[in-house]
Amino acid sequence: MTVVVAGPSKASSDIARGIAEAMGSRMVTVESKRFPDGESYVRIPEDLGGEDVIVVHTMASPQDRSVMELAMLVDAARGLGASRVIAVAPYTAYSRQDTRFLPGEPVSIAVVLKLLYASGSTGFATVEIHKEHSLRYYPGKAVNVRPYTFMARSIGLGGDLLVLAPDQGAIPRAEGLARSIDAEYDYLVKHRDRVTGEVVIEPKNIDVDGREVLIVDDIISTGGTIAKAAKSLLSMGAKRVNVMVAHLLGIPGSIERIASSGVERIYAAYTLPRVDDPRVSYIDVSSLIAGEVSRGFKL
């Protein structure tokens, strides 16, 4: 039977518990503490000899610590004799630095994925990594869980929506969701007025007047991009603007910024610690992760 090891954070424990319940697996809670110098200590207090093990730890802030704790838990599981160790990071930090944008920069996501592999993981899974092609940096098998259709069906969203990607690069997210609920989709483009210099964000092809709009994105950090887009859409006559996101970082001021732009609700997958705000609705995706990991790694 597969064993699920829960990382040392509430979000990680919650997600791990959901995965274990969906798989009918035993869950193990780790021991953890901080040394006086700030270093992390983790310990898996049960025998894992010969077991397939899923280690679940999301890379929440402080990200460096979370990355290191996940790597140490993978090593600990192998040290206890696990036959296979699948590292599951619902949110994967450093994924936006997926290439050397300037000479002398590291490919940060490659560093993270190679560290997890070197620590002893035989597989890796995450929810909606920023660029799916980044998973090629992981030397073993890697699974990217795309949550949007699951989220939409969980809350009963229907095909009367106009699903918008915030830019052309995010079209696959919007298209996949829209097709699954029989909705229209488009993407946003920026235009600068040559007279006033004002920047306007608008859909490429579809008129939003009188439409209910859902902006779909992988991550919300400061919320600035979403806020600008929502203001533009409402000024063009959109009936309502809501947002669906895989990862809500919860940076102070981000929710207020988005809400002040006219967005009524943010639907966020539960991949990071919850933000206590009535305008945010979290959706538990642990059963989705469980299914994708089970199929992807034949557990």
Distance between CA atoms of residues 42 and 31, nearest Å: 6
Partnered with residue 117 across adjacent β-strands are none
Active site residue 190: yes
Report yes or no: 4 and 275 within 8 Å, Cβ to Cβ.
Answer: no
Q: Are 13 and 29 in contact (CB under 8 A)?
A: yes
What Cα–Cα distance (Å) separates residue 146 from each residue in 172, 237, 285?
11, 30, 10
Both tokens of residue 132? 């799916």
Neighbouring C-beta atoms of residue 181, cutoff 10 Å:
18
Q: What is the DSSP letter of 29?
A: E
Give the three-class secondary structure for 234.
helix
Grouping H, G, I as helix, E, B as strand and the rest as coil, residue 16 is helix
Catalytic one among 10, 33, 141, 190? 190
Tokens matching residue 236: 């063009």
Q: Which residues are catalytic?
A: 190
